[in-house]
A and B are shown apart, each in its own frame.
Chain A
Amino acid sequence: MKRLLACLLGVALACSLSSAASAKTYVNGIDANYPPFSFVGEDGNPTGFDIEAMNWIAAKMGFEVKHQPMDWDGIIPALLAGKIDMVCSGMSISPERAAQVAFSDPYYTISKLIVVKDDSDMSAEQALNGKIRLGVQRGTNEHAYLEQMQQDRKLPFTLRPYDSPPMAIADLLNGRIDAAALDSAPVNNAIAMGRKIKSVGTFAPDDNFGVAIRKDDAELLKTVNEGYRQLKADPFWKELQDKYLSQK
């Protein structure tokens, strides 16, 4: 028992020492179910477009970053509670979110696609105006947008919220929903992986991705904005896009 206690103390001490000695460490909360922007790689470590971009920025701007997979529903509360310092994980800038947190300058623009099975002949128009089951990722901009749209125009579709885009796509392939309304990046990723789905058009204006940061953390916001400015000027930016976002 004593030895165990000594071990624990040693570990705690080592942790506190190492954090004191190195540069400031920021924790980036991520949705690890959002390939290709943020997901868990084969080695069990977080990876993806956003992860590599933030690692590059951290190295350039002289801070440490740790990527922390979290549940998407709890990610803004976690940020506000100081459990994490930023969310760089394909988060769309929205007025509702911007009321609670600050966003970096937009770093990526994404379109909103209606996706159906490969062999379906449904159009985006039919999907939105038909009496169908429409999948969407819960708690996202597109979810809010579709709910609003449905209310305003009395549209007959039934919304089926899912935890993550891959789950919506899996259920689309299972035939439990007729179409899904999703961000273009995970859709292209799924198509690149050989899922038998296709996009038939958009349903909402494009969204911009930004890094969410607490409003009182102006210093980090400045650092991140400067980091993206430098990253976009670097050839690595193109490399990242080719690696993760190319449409095969």
Chain B
Amino acid sequence: MDAFLHSLTTVFNALPYIAQGAFVTIVMVAGALSLGFLLGLPLAVAQVYAPRPVRMLVGLYVWFFRGVPVLLLLFLFYFGLFNVIGLDLGMIGSSCAVLGLASAAYQSQIFRGSIQSLPSGQFKAGRALGMTDMQCIRSVVLPQALRISIPAWSNEYSILLKDSAMCFALGTPEIMARTHFVASRTYEYLPLYIAAGCIYFLITLAGITLLRRLERRVRIPGCAAPDMTGDSAGGMQTGI
């Protein structure tokens, strides 16, 4: 009982310190997701609609960033590339950038999947109405594709959140690093890791809930996501 109380006090005392790490983690993940989105969306569009050489370049990018472990990417960029080109983003900035670049590769494939799941008639109909290719993509394809992407994208969020724990390799003071520091001082490994796990769990839950809400909010009335695939197979007979 005594030992239990002692563990509890240790965890309780360490919570403010670890919570500051949660802030770092959230900032990092938000930055990386945004960067991944801003890069991943054009990559996806390019991979579907651009001429062959561009498609191959995008493929190369995706192949590289999906093929190399995040930890290795962190080392490669922070100690190598960023240093060679004289880019100093600081630890949190660098972590953000590397996670974002990697996430762009994954996100591009999420978006590509959604774009290609749309019936090709959508794009053709836009062209028939006199829209340019870009207009079709922007006002017909993407609004639908992005909506379908949300469930898969929430996956990317929770994976990235947990990948962010590896940024300690650069010294980024996020949740995992701080937990580890406190554990080294107090030897209360198990209770502290359980507490850290709970924090990660809460952040995941909050993010997923928000995305669920977003998904419901932006849903097109009368056009649930599964119907769209039905649409492609059956033409006009659904949804009437």
Contacts and interface: CB of A to CB of B under 8 A. Distances in A.
Interface of A: 29, 32-35, 39-42, 44, 68-71, 73-74, 77-78, 80-83, 163-164, 166-167, 169-170, 190, 193, 195
A28 to B, nearest CB: 12
A32 B17 CA distance: 14
A39 B181 contact: yes
Indicate the member of A34, A35, A44, A73 with the most B CB atoms within 10 Å.
A44
Contact of A69 (B20, B171, B183): B171
Contact of B79 (A81, A163, A169, A170): A81
B140 interface: no
A35 B180 CA distance: 12
A40 B169 contact: no
A170 B187 contact: yes
Nearest to B17: A44
B181 A167 contact: no
A40 B181 contact: yes
Given A44-B20, A69-B181, A74-B171, A195 B187 contact: yes
Nearest to B182: A40
Contacts of A163: 180
A74 B169 contact: yes
Contacts of B173: 69
B187 A190 contact: yes
B112 interface: no
Contacts of B181: 32-33, 39-40, 69
Given A166-B187, A167-B184, 10 more contacts: A35-B185, A39-B185, A69-B171, A69-B173, A78-B170, A81-B83, A166-B183, A169-B187, A170-B187, A193-B187
B177 interface: yes
Interface string B39-73: 00000000000000000000000000000000000
B20 A164 contact: no
A68 to B, nearest CB: 6
Measured as residues with beta carbon below 8 angstroms from the partner, the interface class of chain B is 20 to 34
Contacts of A167: 184, 189
B114 to A, nearest CB: 28
7 contacts: A69-B171, A70-B171, A71-B171, A74-B75, A166-B184, A169-B187, A170-B187
B209 interface: no
B13 interface: yes
A80 B187 CA distance: 32
A78 B17 contact: no
Contacts of B169: 71, 73-74
Nearest to A169: B187
A33 B13 contact: no
A78 B16 CA distance: 28
A35 B187 CA distance: 11
Contacts of A32: 180-181, 184
A78 B177 contact: no
Contacts of A71: 168-171
A74 B169 CA distance: 7
Interface in B70-94: 75, 78-79, 83
A195 to B, nearest CB: 7
Contacts of A33: 180-181, 184
Contact of B171 (A34, A78, A169): A78
Contacts of B16: 44
A39 B185 CA distance: 7
A71 to B, nearest CB: 5
A58 B219 CA distance: 60
B171 A41 contact: no
Contacts of B183: 166
Contacts of B180: 32-33, 163-164
B184 A35 contact: yes
Given A35-B184, A167-B189, A40 B168 contact: no
Given A74-B75, A77-B79, A82-B83, A69 B187 contact: no
A34 B187 contact: no
Contacts of B13: 42
B157 to A, nearest CB: 23
B15 to A, nearest CB: 11
